[in-house]
Amino acid sequence: MDQVMRPAGVLEEIGEVDTAIVSEVEEPSSAGVSWAAVVAGAVASCALTSVLLAFGAGLGFSVVSPWPNSGVSATSFEIGTGLYFIVMAMISSAVGGYLAGRLRNRWIGVRSSEVLFRDTAHGFLAWALASVLGAILLASPASSLISSATSGAVQAAGSPQAASPMDGYVDMLLRPNNPSPENTNSAETRRELSRLLTADFRNGAEPSPADRSYIAKVVAARTGLSQVEADRRVGDVIAQVKADLETARKAAVHLSIWLTLSLFIGAFSAALAATEGGGLRDGTWGKRAWLG
In a domain, 105, yes or no: yes
Residue 291: per-residue pLDDT: 41
Per-residue DSSP letters for the chain? -HHHHS-HHHHHHHHHHHHHHHHT-------S--HHHHHHHHHHHHHHHHHHHHHHHHHHHHH--SSTT-S--HHHHHHHHHHHHHHHHHHHHHHHHHHHHHSSPPPSS--HHHHHHHHHHHHHHHHHHHHHHHHHHHHHHHHHHHHHHHHHHHHHTTSTT---TTHHHHHHHS--SS--GGGPPPHHHHHHHHHHHHHHHGGG----HHHHHHHHHHHHHHH---HHHHHHHHHHHHHHHHHHHHHHHHHHHHHHHHHHHHHHHHHHHHHHHHHHHHHHHHT-TTTHHHH-
Same domain, 184 and 108: no
The C-alpha atoms of residue 233 and residue 230 are separated, in whole angstroms, by: 5
Same domain, 234 and 262: no
Residue 29: per-residue pLDDT: 60
> Is it the case that residue 110 has pLDDT exceeding 70?
yes
> Is it the case that residue 214 has pLDDT exceeding 50?
yes
In a domain, 144, yes or no: no
Same domain, 133 and 271: yes
> Is it the case that residue 290 has pLDDT exceeding 50?
no
Same domain, 191 and 264: no
Q: How many domains is the chain partitioned into structurally? A: 2
Residue 182: per-residue pLDDT: 55
In a domain, 146, yes or no: no
Q: Which amino acid is at 31?
A: A
Quick one: how far is CA 58 from the chain centroid?
19
> Is it the case that residue 4 has pLDDT exceeding 50?
no
What average pLDDT score do residues 112-120 get? 89
Same domain, 240 and 259: no
In a domain, 27, yes or no: no
The C-alpha atoms of residue 226 and residue 172 are separated, in whole angstroms, by: 16
Same domain, 61 and 89: yes
Domain residues for the domain of 60 are 34-137+255-291
In a domain, 92, yes or no: yes
Same domain, 126 and 215: no
Total number of residues shown for the chain: 292
Residue 39: per-residue pLDDT: 94
Rg of the chain (C-alpha set): 33
In a domain, 1, yes or no: no
Least confident of 55-59, 73-77, 108-112, 237-241: 73-77
The C-alpha atoms of residue 89 and residue 49 are separated, in whole angstroms, by: 8
What average pLDDT score do residues 164-186 get? 64
Least confident of 135-139, 210-214, 240-244, 263-267: 135-139
Same domain, 210 and 73: no
| pLDDT grade for 146, boundaries at 50, 70 and 90 | very low
Highest-pLDDT range among 55-59, 106-110, 160-164, 252-256: 252-256
Contact partners, residue 166, CB within 8 Å, separation at least 6: 193, 194, 197, 198, 201
Quick one: how far is CA 90 from the chain centroid?
14
The pLDDT mean for the chain works out to 76
Same domain, 259 and 132: yes
Residue 154: per-residue pLDDT: 44
Same domain, 112 and 43: yes
In a domain, 157, yes or no: no
Q: Which amino acid is at 189?
A: T
The model's pLDDT over 44-84, given as tens digits with 9 standing for 90+, comes to 999 999 899 888 888 877 776 666 666 677 778 788 888 99
Same domain, 71 and 203: no
Same domain, 130 and 41: yes
In a domain, 104, yes or no: yes
